[in-house]
Structures are given as structure tokens and as C-alpha cells.
A and B are shown apart, each in its own frame.
Chain A
């Protein structure tokens, strides 16, 4: 199974300041079809998860452009350029290169 490891697990951020979350996979997420199937999801308090980023760096519909994803191979990063109150929640990376699908442990973003 591919193990997904996120750091940090908690990220207190001042409103208007940037936030960054790292996700590392135990093996390369580059599929034989050439795509890298790494997604980021956000879970606001009391809500179901919501897709933010797919295939490393593609923003899903409705996601603001201050949210971005980057990375390659086994190392990936989610960045929020200026944190707003609506960004509070837990962020998960997920790999879909192969079954079983696996998630990172989650990173809690909160306002200082």
C-alpha cells in the first residue's frame, strides 16, 4: 500500500498570511499513463470533505486561485497564499495511483 505522510499535522496561521502543507508518498505517484494522481481535499468543521485540487495542481470548480498545488513524484505541497476565515479546517492529500486508495493523516489549519 502507498503510505501518505503529511506535515505539519497542525498549522496555526494569522489571517492574511500564507499557509503551506506538505504531503509525501512512500512511492512515486506517477502512473503508467503519465499522470500523477494526487488530490487535495478540505474538510471544514462539521462538513463532508470537498475536492480542492486534482492531479497535483489543477483547481477544482469554485476553488479560489489563492489555493494552489505543486509537486512531483513523491513530494507535494498545498499552498494558501492568504489565509481567510473560510480556510479553517482539515486538509487531506489522497493518492489514486493504485488501489487501495490512501489518504494522508490530515493537517488542521486554524487561525491564531
Chain B
């Protein structure tokens, strides 16, 4: 069974940093793209970033480039999101999700999410 477990969320002040982690199990981690999707309170889904199996390619929303960095450690079956210069509007639940880049290109498994609250 595919399992994705996020951690690292919490309360941080504006301008601060956080590193989210996602522990994967139940599948061969290094054969899948992975991604982060966020959801602000009461709002819809917003894609954040994706990373290729070997980490050689990453894609992210323009508005977060330079502040958020996606990475992975295949030896640890883990996905990360380094978030710097956090703003109040980054407050959201952050989901880790498995992405099948080759057909059918979609997020087929999701974690439960970790809440990030940016507030003074």
C-alpha cells in the first residue's frame, strides 16, 4: 500500500523558513516523480512543485521560485520542500503526492497533509 506521510509543518513568523518532509513507502520511490500541492484554508488546490525521479529536473510555480525549493533523497525514500521568506499567504495545508509523469500524468496518491501557518 502506498503511504505518504508529511511532517515539518507548524507556526512560523513572516519572513521565516520551514522545511517540509514527506516519507514514502509501499512503492519504489526512485521510479516516480513526486510533487507538492497546497490548499489555503477554505480554498482550492494549488500546485507548488514537481521533481523528477533522480532530482535532475524540477518545476515550480513562478510565484514561488526563489523562495521554495523541492528536493528528494532516494536513499531515504523522502521528499522535501524548503520554504524561505514565508508570507502570510503561504498559510496552507501542504500535500505530498506521487506523480506519474509518463502516461497518465496525474497525482495518483496523496498524503494527509501538513499545516503551515505563517503569522506574527
A residues whose Cβ falls under 8 Å from a Cβ of B: 35, 37, 39, 41, 43, 48-51, 54-55, 58, 60, 90, 92, 94, 96, 99-106
**A92 engages B61 (CB within 8 Å):** no
- In the assembled complex, the CB of A90 is this many whole angstroms from the nearest CB of chain B, namely 8
- In the assembled complex, the CB of A19 is this many whole angstroms from the nearest CB of chain B, namely 19
B contact residues, total (Cβ < 8 Å): 24
**A55 engages B103 (CB within 8 Å):** yes
- In the assembled complex, the CB of A48 is this many whole angstroms from the nearest CB of chain B, namely 4
Interface centre among A48, A51, A54, A104 (most CB of B within 10 A): A48
B residues whose Cβ falls under 8 Å from a Cβ of A: 35, 37, 44-47, 50, 59-62, 95, 97, 103-113
Residue of B nearest to A35 (CB): B103
Residue of B nearest to A49 (CB): B110
**A51 engages B107 (CB within 8 Å):** yes
- In the assembled complex, the CB of B32 is this many whole angstroms from the nearest CB of chain A, namely 14
**B59 engages A94 (CB within 8 Å):** no
Q: Which residues of B contact A39 (CB under 8 A)?
A: 104, 106-107
Residue of A nearest to B96 (CB): A48
Known: A58-B104, A99-B50, A100-B59. A92 touches B44 (CB 8 A): yes
Query: CA–CA, A50 to B97, complex, Å?
Result: 10
Query: CA–CA, A111 to B47, complex, Å?
Result: 29
**B110 engages A103 (CB within 8 Å):** no
List 9 A-B pairs, minimum CB-CB distance, nearest first: A54-B104, A96-B105, A101-B47, A39-B106, A48-B110, A99-B59, A37-B105, A106-B44, A103-B45
